[in-house]
Structure 1
Amino acid sequence: MIKGMLFLGLNVLELEQAFFEEALGAPRDPTGGGRPALAGSEVAGGPFGHEPARTSSAGIGRGGAPASLVDEAEPATKTVRAELRRWRMSAPWDRVRGLRKLFNDAGVDVRLVKFPELGGREMSDEEVDYCFQFARTMGARAITCEPPLSQTKRVARFADKHEMIVGFHGHSNAKNVETFGRPGAWEQAFFYSKYHWANVDLGHFTAGNGYPPTGFIREYHDRITNIHLKDRKVENGPNVPWGEGDTPIKETLQLMQREKYAFPAMIELEYRIPAGSTVMDELARCVQFCKAALT
């Protein structure tokens, strides 16, 4: 991952739970998503080592339900969740610090750590504390997550306790009262804690609402942890190669540059890789798209 980031000139990372916990020896979390990481620079970033088809079965990156809505009644799911909970309560903190050093020595800033299920009904209080402890140990400035909106009041207790920012990720189902991205959802979470911020997904917002999120970004730029870059068509249309959809990636990057917003933007490579191309080829095209937008 690090070599790929440096090759593409990227140096800011949104580290995904599914990547780092498995790398540290944890059992695979059935609710934690499938993307290994989101990486970026101050302007753009991207995930490494996966094909778009490997995104979460819970609908992450496809406008589906939050990860925390996975059926916890399934016996296999309950068993793995119990194993993961036990692992987290005795996490190898020396190895976590070693992981941080690995990134730091390479000049990669682990700006954010993503726990998709943070605050969900299946996560114990002790596990929520673990998430904040992990993020702080990694030197992250914030946690990103996507619990049901109804659980954000609970998350607020921990954000206030740990004095750490939490960015809630938006999806494209603007009619689902439990997901972010619809009008009023982030504002409700903001009400519960000053540490509650927004992780705005440009593609999902545009696809679900039929208009771009630039108005929201302008109004709440001081409460945005980061934005995710992808190109989708309106009316919950598909992910497409950048420049072929309805998402204003170029205009948003130019807005960030013009207004000198402090939050980073992260590439999410979620369209199907064209025949004859590779993940790295497409990531390079996305990076070039960002550079062209800003010159």
Structure 2
Amino acid sequence: MQNNSKSTRRKFLRNTLTLAAGSSLITPSLFGAPSILKYYNKPNSKFNGVQIGVITYSFRSMEDQSAEATLKYILDCGINAIELIGDPAETFAGRPENTLNRSVYFGLMKKNKSGAISDNEAKELAEIQANQAVYNAKVTEWRKNADMKKFEKFRKMYNDAGVQIYAFKPRNTFGKNNSDADIDWGMKTAKVLGASHVTVEHPSNDATTLRLGNFAKKHRIYIAYHGHEQQTPTLWDTALEQSKYNALNLDLGHFVAAGNTAPLEIIKTKHEHIKSMHLKDRQTPEHGKGNLVWGSGDTPLTGALELMKDKNYTFPGTIELEYDIPQGSNAVAEVQKCVEFCKNALK
């Protein structure tokens, strides 16, 4: 019954979004639901020349992870541009079903990262990761013959609703152990989706960035390396020298949590190579490195947004929701708050 319920809900969302995006014959009385009215006008999260987007990973806690539901979350936030995690597009295109319990997995990963994981939990995490390795192999096989027309259909659904895909981040695609076929598929699919760049965690391995840079040149699409607490002002220098298609997916919050001083300087010095920048509010190491509600941490978010506006930087700022969601709220409501923060900062 649960699967049937989800299927019905997705069908409703698909039909509603298609009608709202493409029909000129709709009248409010057709639905009788004020929440639908926002879809008549295309979303706009470009404020004073600065494009604000969101990575769809921000909605990972929402129950329905389908393409249609994810689009509704984006529209509910008034956002018109995104960095797309691969899952919604790939499942839409027929990827084999993943039985992963996301809440359990992310909870164990969080405990493991903080060092608070028990022995039994560590064993459970290892079993999940082993199962995921088997699943990833199945996905690699599926991708070899995946129908690109379905990704074109996905792009059209999002574009018709007013949402552009500027970056694509498929899972298990651009790592040092991935095959040439995986990398080719990821970059080809990104172009079909309309993305200007793909994103991947910086591998801290020069051979890997050289390899990926060569693939990026072949496909004429940028590959932007995301950083966590390994970020330094010089982290990307070798990759940038290796290929003009190697670029930055700077994460300003992690950059601050890594203990780097003058975080706005890296934006100024690397802006020509930044294809998108993740926005979150983290603390410095002295204050505990916390990931906090925007405006309460040490990351100069307002200063960064003002700099983007004043210097006419064209790369988007990407909201990445990683602080704990308050009780009684959800990811959509919190991303809405982040959008409002950006809007106010860019007045």
**TM-score normalised over the length of structure 2:** 0.69
> Matched residue of 1:214: which SS?
helix
- The 5 A counterparts of 1:1-295 are 1-27=70-96, 76-150=131-205, 151-172=208-229, 174=230, 181-235=231-285, 237-295=289-347
> Matched residue of 1:244: which SS?
coil
Q: Is the 8 A contact 1:120 1:147 kept in 2?
A: no
Q: Is the 8 A contact 2:167 2:195 kept in 1?
A: yes
Unaligned runs of 5+ in 1: 35-50, 65-69, 175-180
Distance 1:122-1:25 versus aligned 2 partners, 3 A rule: farther
Q: CA deviation at 1:185?
A: 1.5
Partners of 2:277 and 2:221 in 1: CA distance = 18
Partners of 2:107 and 2:236 in 1: CA distance = 23
Q: Is the 8 A contact 2:232 2:260 kept in 1?
A: no
Instruction: Write the letter of the residue equivalent to 1:142.
Output: H
Partner of 1:42: none
Unaligned runs of 5+ in 2: 1-69, 116-124
Q: Is the 8 A contact 1:63 1:204 kept in 2?
A: no
Q: Is the 8 A contact 1:119 1:154 kept in 2?
A: no
> Percent identity between the aligned chains?
36
> Matched residue of 2:186: which SS?
helix
Q: Is the 8 A contact 1:14 1:114 kept in 2?
A: yes
Between the two proteins, the alignment pairs up a number of residues equal to 261
Distance 1:154-1:79 versus aligned 2 partners, 3 A rule: same
Partners of 1:54 and 1:251 in 2: CA distance = 35
Distance 1:130-1:4 versus aligned 2 partners, 3 A rule: same
> Matched residue of 1:149: which SS?
coil
Distance 1:268-1:87 versus aligned 2 partners, 3 A rule: same
Partners of 1:196 and 1:159 in 2: CA distance = 8
Q: CA deviation at 1:277?
A: 2.3
Cα deviation, 1:78-124, whole Å, max 9, x if unaligned, reads: 42222111011011212111101101111111111113544313311
**TM-score normalised over the length of structure 1:** 0.80
> Matched residue of 1:209: which SS?
coil
| Bigger shift: residues 113-122 or 237-246 | 113-122
Rg larger in structure:
2
Distance 1:290-1:262 versus aligned 2 partners, 3 A rule: same
Q: What root-mean-square deviation, in Å, do the aligned CA atoms of Structure 1 and Structure 2 show? A: 2.8
